[in-house]
Structure 1
């Protein structure tokens, strides 16, 4: 059976730089009826466990370490035995949320994760966060972008650890070069495609200056 993508929306808060905001997060589960990986364990470990429905969880992959994307990761790891994987450049952000528990493994650019016969390639795409990554699954014609690319533009870069020119470089070099039919499954909000977003890059650059 080929891998499929299951989608869950969880709700909670995002806190950084002294502010707190209510947010809805996309949790993506990639796998088949026997095994899966979770991309961004946000807010509600019990809801994610329910969605897994007894499948073996191979890994909990963090697209970045803002608290709304990792707050449920330790609980989900404890419940399933799955390792939490994070790019090491996001460890300072991780420690703001989980000072007493480290991730179990590192993500590296070009690393390939395999689940249910489907390969997901790690793309290091800094800008929204130093260790932000996207996961490209060509077999599913999908890229999971976390908060690096949304429908309508790049992720926010107005807070600590973020940088606008860096996210533009990541988009230009790593994401908008993917096939135009590639579905973009984001950390918040609706999905889009590379083809729908790529023509607008220079508008985003002008807007960000």
Structure 2
């Protein structure tokens, strides 16, 4: 039996919202073993992600939120792998701006437990960066996948459509910073961090 592990694929493209466009590099995460994986955030390049999957079964494509740079490759990757695309319902409107003719296949909802390679991954609804932003907590791996909710250095960006600074700070204080301090934070952009390291970077009310 092969070990369960986390693999990172970095893809490059653009992020567009509210009439502005930026060049970005995104972290795409593969969670699984030699037989099957779950993809977290299908960003920019479906073929590069599919190549990294390397023939393994993809159980699902989980989208931490629906900003275009995190979901632009999701439909094509779904075609390539046969895997369903999962997203929190509160981000369906935002998703429709990028993929008006293709809806997600299923819902990420708070407390839902996803299984891949024999381990459990729990969905934690963490609104603020977007209303439907979710983090994925894998206790067996001592890891949480936070999308753009928590970065090395603190909270993700707010101030654009579908976002709210007090909401993201509340999500961090109440939902993520309560996780064990040695939990590795796998982010949507940039380097990893830990829960303990970020506690000092989130304002207290």
2:24 is aligned with 1:9: no
Counterpart Cα distance in 1 of 2:96 and 2:159: 20
Using the TM superposition, give the Cα deviation of residue 2 of structure 1 relative to its aligned residue in structure 2, in angstroms. Answer: 2.9
Counterpart Cα distance in 1 of 2:172 and 2:4: 26
- In structure 1, what is the equivalent of residue 36 of structure 2? 35
User: Which consecutive unaligned segments of at least 5 residues does structure 1 have?
Assistant: none
- In structure 2, what is the equivalent of residue 65 of structure 1? 66
Q: Deviation string for 1:73-99 (max 9, x for gaps)?
A: 000001111000000000011000000
Counterpart Cα distance in 2 of 1:36 and 1:202: 35
- In structure 2, what is the equivalent of residue 116 of structure 1? 117
Counterpart Cα distance in 2 of 1:76 and 1:102: 14
- In structure 2, what is the equivalent of residue 186 of structure 1? 187
Counterpart Cα distance in 2 of 1:197 and 1:64: 21
Instruction: Write out the 4+ residue segments of structure 1 that deviate beyond 3 Å after TM superposition.
Output: none
Using the TM superposition, give the Cα deviation of residue 201 of structure 1 relative to its aligned residue in structure 2, in angstroms. Answer: 1.9
Given that 1:43 and 1:68 are in contact with CA atoms closer than 8 Å, whether structure 2 keeps it comes out as yes
Counterpart Cα distance in 1 of 2:57 and 2:12: 24
Using the TM superposition, give the Cα deviation of residue 177 of structure 1 relative to its aligned residue in structure 2, in angstroms. Answer: 0.3
SS of 1:135's partner is strand
Using the TM superposition, give the Cα deviation of residue 142 of structure 1 relative to its aligned residue in structure 2, in angstroms. Answer: 0.2
- In structure 2, what is the equivalent of residue 128 of structure 1? 129
Counterpart Cα distance in 2 of 1:202 and 1:42: 30
TM-score, length basis structure 1: 0.96
Q: Deviation string for 1:79-135 (max 9, x for gaps)?
A: 111000000000011000000000000111000001001111000000000000000
SS of 1:76's partner is helix
- In structure 2, what is the equivalent of residue 87 of structure 1? 88
SS of 2:43's partner is coil
SS of 1:202's partner is coil
RMSD: 0.9
Counterpart Cα distance in 1 of 2:57 and 2:149: 28
Counterpart Cα distance in 1 of 2:200 and 2:22: 31
User: Which consecutive unaligned segments of at least 5 residues does structure 2 have?
Assistant: none
SS of 2:202's partner is helix
Counterpart Cα distance in 2 of 1:104 and 1:110: 18
SS of 1:75's partner is helix
SS of 1:22's partner is strand
The more displaced of 193-202 and 96-105 is 193-202
